[in-house]
Amino acid sequence: MSFTLVALDHTPFIHRCIALAEYGCGHTGINPMVGAVLVRDEKIIIEAFHEEFGSLHAEALLIKKCVQKIQQEDRLYINLEPCCYTEKKTPPCTDAIIKSGIKHVIVGMLDPNPQVSGKGIEQLRKNGIEVIFPIERARCVWFNRGFVSLMVKSRPWITMKKAQTWSGAIAGEDGSKMKITNTEQDAWSHQYLRSKHDAILVGVETVVTDDPLLTFRMKNEELPAGRSIGEGWRMKNEQPLRIVLDPQLRIPLTAKVVSGEMAKGTMVVTKQAEDTEVTEEAKEQMEKLRERGVRVVSIPLNDAGVFAMQELFHVLTTPTKDFHGLTSILVEGGRKTWEAFRKANAVDCEVMLIGKKQSHIA
């Protein structure tokens, strides 16, 4: 009698974890995006994802939702190593897994958080649980690159996006706005850049010149297969945070990003100054912005007269009562802003869109 050993293909289930995790994009704050599935007889019987900052993690939520009795051969898949410490009011996911009776756990990647890295898997194994990892590690790391950057570099993942003509122009000769990218490029930018980042950042000159919306806008036919606007895409189509770097507080109160419902999703970063240095006009401007719901934060300038990036990153990655921090930023312009991030060695990915003709950022 002979036996044939069939190797299990874990890849599709890790891919499903990532797809689930993406539903939490823009809601998990400084936490990673995590999805989890429970598999029995090669079929997913229950799934969950980390829905928002401060809520149950994916594994714990899955176990809570599971009404079926765990069987010996059931396999739990997670795209990120389960946590093994108490985070504020959220208990360790390793404890929930151990208590559930699950005996097989497949993990996409180790958690880069030094409080967890390797320790979560070690704890599971010490309790008699088989752990297989890594599965699709590169894909899992890329998916949570913002969280990885925060753990490794103490700052968000920064993508710089530029658009220019073949001749290198980014604006008219007189500095006026130009429409550079075409419809296909705009659709790609919204789907693969704006919707994938926690925040979109520009300098105030871009707002003064172009008066952009700084939102992602896609039609249902432009969304990934199986998604529709308002149904799970970034959790009810919530927009990325809009950040405007504005040292002198020049942003017009008529600007779209600080008007109407848009205001509550906008952060204006201005220079830190002594009360005696702030003009009455600036104080009034700041008060009006805050009355609209705009977050106005003050950051010191460095010797070169630009924002101290480490201070900025600290503010953007520190949760407060109504702000849960962020792990990724799309920097869209303009020239001075690009230069500031480059000089701070704070650019992880640069995207250049080349157009034949003439865009204002919308």
Tell me the DSSP string of 279-330.
-HHHHHHHHHHHHTT-EEEEE-B-TTSSB-HHHHHHHHTS--SS----SEEE
pLDDT of residue 191: 87
Ranges of each domain in the chain:
11-143, 155-355
Cα 151 to Cα 328: distance, rounded to the nearest angstrom: 12
Query: Considering only the top CATH level, what class is 11-143?
Result: alpha beta
pLDDT of residue 175: 56
Query: For residue 100, which amino acid is it?
Result: S
Domain 155-355 is found in CATH 1.10.101.10 = no
Q: Quick check: 165 and 293 in contact, CB under 8 A?
A: no
The pTM assigned to this predicted structure is: 0.88
What values do phi and psi take at 99, rounded to 5? -70, -25
**Residue ranges in the chain whose pLDDT is less than 70:** 1-7, 88-89, 167-178, 180, 218-237, 275-276, 356-362
Give the model confidence (pLDDT) of 153-197 as tens digits.
999 999 999 887 776 666 655 555 667 677 888 888 888 899 999
pLDDT of residue 232: 41
Q: Quick check: 25 and 38 in contact, CB under 8 A?
A: no
Give the model confidence (pLDDT) of 295-337 as tens digits.
999 999 988 889 999 999 999 999 998 899 999 999 998 889 9
pLDDT of residue 163: 80
pLDDT of residue 193: 92
Cis omega (within 30 of 0) for bond into 334: yes
pLDDT of residue 1: 45
Q: CA of 42: how far to CAs of 45, 76, 142, in Å?
A: 9, 11, 26
H-run or E-run covering 181: none
Residue tagged active-site, from 42, 47, 52, 59: 59
238 catalytic residue (yes or no): no
Query: Beta 75-78 vs 104-107: how paired, if at all?
Result: parallel
Query: Beta 349-355 vs 157-165: how paired, if at all?
Result: parallel
Cis omega (within 30 of 0) for bond into 156: no
